[in-house]
Amino acid sequence: MALQSVNATRMELLQLRKRVALALRGHRLLSEKRDEISRRLVQIARDLTALRKKVEQDILEMSRRFMMARATMEPEHIRAAMDLPTKKFQLTIRLASIMSVKVPQLTKQIEGDIMSYGFSTTSGELDVALRALERASDSLVELAEKEKQCQLLATELQSTRRRVNVLEHVVIPETRETIKYIYDKLGEAERDNISRLMKIADIIRG
């Protein structure tokens, strides 16, 4: 705020002191929120590293097993085996709150068996490949949940950091500077008033 446009009154001084107290409290709360979000992000990032590695391993294993199955089965037998899926997969999304940030939590509902074919024309490699697909799907759902949580928390962390910085480096210093300006102006006015009163007293006594 421009110092020259401020009314140097005691009422304004009182309001500015309240504003500083509120800004300091907001700065403390936002700093605590920033630190807690950072801690949660570090924790999720650790989980993501291991989870990504597991997903990559599961997908590689699944791909390798499907290639083995294709090499040991006739194409028409593979198509016939995969034509009638009997496993149903449903994903439910609900929102949870982490430090006032709405993050998704994914819940899987699974019915039936992924293997819906007879075993006379299929190889064991296809069975293993489908089981690997199940494991990869479970890991992918968990990875998607953690990735989205991480993304939302990172966005909130960036916003919180900006607000903390504005309070710390702009709002609080400028308001304190304005308080000092008003205090000095009031002191100057008080000294001028005392000088006038002394002159008046001298005139009266003279």
pLDDT in tens, 26-77: 999 999 999 999 999 998 888 888 888 888 888 888 888 888 888 877 777 7
Angle at 192 between CA 186 and CA 197, to 5 degrees: 125
Cβ(148)–Cβ(95) under 8 Å?
no
What percentage of the chain carries pLDDT values higher than 70?
Answer: 89
Cβ(149)–Cβ(101) under 8 Å?
no
Between CA 155 and CA 178 the distance in angstroms is: 33
Compute the average pLDDT of residues 96-113: 80
CATH number of 3-198: 1.10.287.3240
Q: 3-state DSSP call for residue 89?
A: strand
Full-model pTM: 0.71
Compute the average pLDDT of residues 124-145: 82
Delimit the domains of the chain by residue range: 3-198
pLDDT of residue 38: 93
Specify the range with the lowest mean pLDDT, choosing from 65-69, 88-92, 117-121.
117-121
pLDDT of residue 3: 58
pLDDT in tens, 176-187: 999 998 888 888
Q: pLDDT class for 117, splitting at 50, 70, 90? A: low
